[in-house]
Structure 1
Amino acid sequence: MARGLFLFLLLFLLGCVSTQTVTPRVCFGEKCVLVEIADTPEERSRGLMYRDALQGNYGMLFVFEEESIHGFWMKNTRIPLDGIWMNSQGEVVDVIRMLPCESDPCPVYTPRENALYVLEVNAGVAENWLVERGTIAQISGV
């Protein structure tokens, strides 16, 4: 009897667990970007290379182990992007328009301050959404 009650309660509790996953996103006020997460060296190295387009409110969030001056280049990246560097509190420390690299050596885009996160979005998003140094981002699902 006790074993049956235990199994019933266990199955009941398992049925109550949500199977929904939280979609990672970065929001600046009411404007949000759904993001792919790049948090391994391999994912960060590949980034958005070889893609022909990035849908409207989508981007890639690079997550590092520690705050530092994380430089980016656009080798094999076919679309212009805005790079938005943020510290561990989600404060924007730099915004740089990054253009596809057309010849070697490719320029390296580096922020003015240490950052823990870098968000890549379509070029123009930062300007259109008024994202600048000091803007606070809400990062969720990471």
Structure 2
Amino acid sequence: MQSELLQRSVKLLSVIFLTIFLVGCLHNDKNLVLQTDIGEIPITVELADTPETRRRGLMFRTKMPRDEGMLFDFQETREVAFWMRNTFIPLDMIFIDERGTIKHIHHNAVPQDPTSIPSKYPVRFVLEINGGLAKQYGLKPGDQVRHPRMNS
């Protein structure tokens, strides 16, 4: 009787752990999709969701692969501003609301420029990708972004 109970417990635990693993794979915070007129564009993102990671951002990096970016999550919707101090690569900054709607795009932010770059609207997220890609992808305000943290 105890052996049968132990076997059932092990099976149940195995199912629970497998379910947790699969849900984790489906909600991978590294996967983001830009929905554009030319189709869906997958981007692998690094998350900046703590005060420290948001403050550091992409500073001091000299390159970033074309299909990668950094997603800043401010945990709340508000107006934000960025600058390029200590950032060595040109970036497109895509300002996104909590539902994944692009509100504003700042194209080709100039490396090491200390000028403030405002969101212009309250947003929860900012996606930084290599400068020039937003235009190549045809991104525009109103386009959608899919990510597990967005309430689309």
| Smaller-chain TM-score bracket | 0.7 to 0.9
Q: Please give the residue correspondences for 1:14-53 in structure 2 after superposition, counting only pairs within 5 Å.
A: 14-16=13-15, 17=18, 19=21, 21=25, 22-29=28-35, 30-53=40-63
Cα 1:55–1:14 shift into 2, 3 Å: farther
Letter in 2 for 1:137: V
Return the alpha-carbon distance in structure 1 between the equivalents of residues 129 and 87 of structure 2: 12
Partner of 2:67: 57
Return the alpha-carbon distance in structure 2 between the equivalents of residues 47 and 82 of structure 1: 13
Q: Percent identity?
A: 31
Unaligned runs of 5+ in 1: none
Shift in Å at residue 125 of structure 1? Answer: 1.3
Residues 46-105 of structure 1: CA distance to partner in whole angstroms, max 9, x if unpaired?
111111110110001000121111101111111000000000111101100211115xxx
Partner of 2:118: 110
Unaligned runs of 5+ in 2: none
Shift in Å at residue 108 of structure 1? Answer: 0.9
Cα 1:127–1:12 shift into 2, 3 Å: same
Number of residue-to-residue matches in the alignment: 138
User: Out of 89, 97, 112, which is 1:79 matched to?
Assistant: 89
TM-score normalised per structure 1: 0.88
The question of whether the paired residues in 2 share the 8 Å contact of 1:77 and 1:100 is answered with yes
Q: Helix, strand or coil for the counterpart of 2:9? A: helix
Cα 1:23–1:88 shift into 2, 3 Å: closer
RMSD: 1.8
Partner of 1:126: 134
Cα 1:130–1:11 shift into 2, 3 Å: same
